């Protein structure tokens, strides 16, 4: 437990520095590449945070406390309208709720059904959109349903993640822990997929189905253990 707490504090500290100190960091040029430099490290740390918090799926009271604290801090940050100020509490709230989802809906069918169904819905709705992305992104501050990744040295965003995507990421991580589907590899696969989605958005200047990418990362990362899990009766648990 002490090692878990130390890892959690280290990742939270790194995220806090990148998110809260972003306006004071040196502004980079050109804006497109500056957005890439500012956005990718926080995405990787969010994936690491989800992995480190994954074992808490076995402690629902702790998750409930984290969700309550994250909700209160998110509300306070939204009231201040600060760019990037609410991203950390929003992440804690989303991860705690996602792990609670995996704990409450602890059915084998959800392990495969949730990523397939939610991923397909996200793929269809996002790719059918005509929206475009600009770099940096002119997001309003204090948006509680969006995790803003602030640009260095400026009051704009280098990118964003929906709170639903982070919740979904945490739910799948919770299933990986509960069903013993190689949690570390699964976390790495989902994080890499989320970074890939951002890179495609950056390259193509249009939204990518981030949740569908996370679902694909989950299924690919544990594809070799899913057959064994299926044969052992995991789908019927």
Decide if 127 contacts 213 (C-beta within 8 A).
no
Give the per-residue pLDDT at 138.
61
Pairing of strands 146-150, 157-162: antiparallel
pLDDT of residue 210: 94
pLDDT (0 to 100) of residue 120: 94
CB 214 within 8 A of CB 169: yes
Are 93 and 179 contacting, i.e. CB atoms less than 8 angstroms apart? Answer: no
Q: Tokens 């964003």 correspond to what residue? A: 160
Q: What is the pLDDT of residue 236?
A: 46
| Residue 231: exposure state from Cβ atoms within 10 A (0-12, 13-18, ≥19) | exposed
What is the pLDDT at residue 19?
Answer: 84
Helix (H) or strand (E) holding 26: none
137 DSSP assignment: B
Per-block mean pLDDT, blocks of 10 residues, the chain (237 long): 81 87 77 82 95 93 92 79 76 95 88 92 85 64 77 79 94 94 94 95 88 96 87 62
Q: What is the pLDDT of residue 50?
A: 96
Q: Which two tokens stand for residue 27?
A: 């502004």
């Amino acid at each position: 437990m002490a090692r878990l707490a130390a890892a959690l504090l280290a990742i939270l500290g790194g995220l806090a520095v990148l998110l809260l100190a972003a306006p004071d960091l040196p502004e980079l040029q050109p804006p497109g590449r500056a957005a890439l430099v500012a956005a990718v490290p926080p995405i990787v740390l969010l994936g690491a945070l989800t992995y480190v918090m994954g074992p808490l799926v076995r402690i629902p009271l702790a998750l409930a406390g984290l969700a309550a604290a994250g909700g209160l801090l998110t509300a306070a940050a939204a009231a201040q309208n600060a760019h990037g100020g609410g991203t950390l509490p929003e992440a804690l709230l989303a991860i705690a709720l996602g792990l609670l989802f995996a704990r409450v809906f602890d059915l084998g069918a959800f392990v495969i059904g949730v990523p397939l169904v939610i991923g397909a819905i996200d793929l269809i709705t996002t790719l059918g959109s005509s929206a475009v992305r600009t770099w940096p992104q002119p997001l309003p501050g204090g948006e509680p349903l969006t995790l803003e990744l602030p640009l260095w040295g400026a009051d704009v965003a280098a990118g964003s993640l929906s709170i639903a995507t982070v919740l979904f990421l945490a739910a799948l991580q919770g299933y990986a822990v509960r069903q013993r589907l190689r949690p570390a590899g699964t976390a790495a696969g989902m994080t890499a997929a989320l970074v890939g989605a951002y890179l495609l958005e950056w390259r193509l200047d249009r939204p990518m189905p981030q949740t569908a990418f996370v679902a694909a990362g989950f299924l690919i990362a544990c594809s070799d253990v899913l057959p064994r899990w299926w044969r052992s009766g995991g789908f019927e648990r």
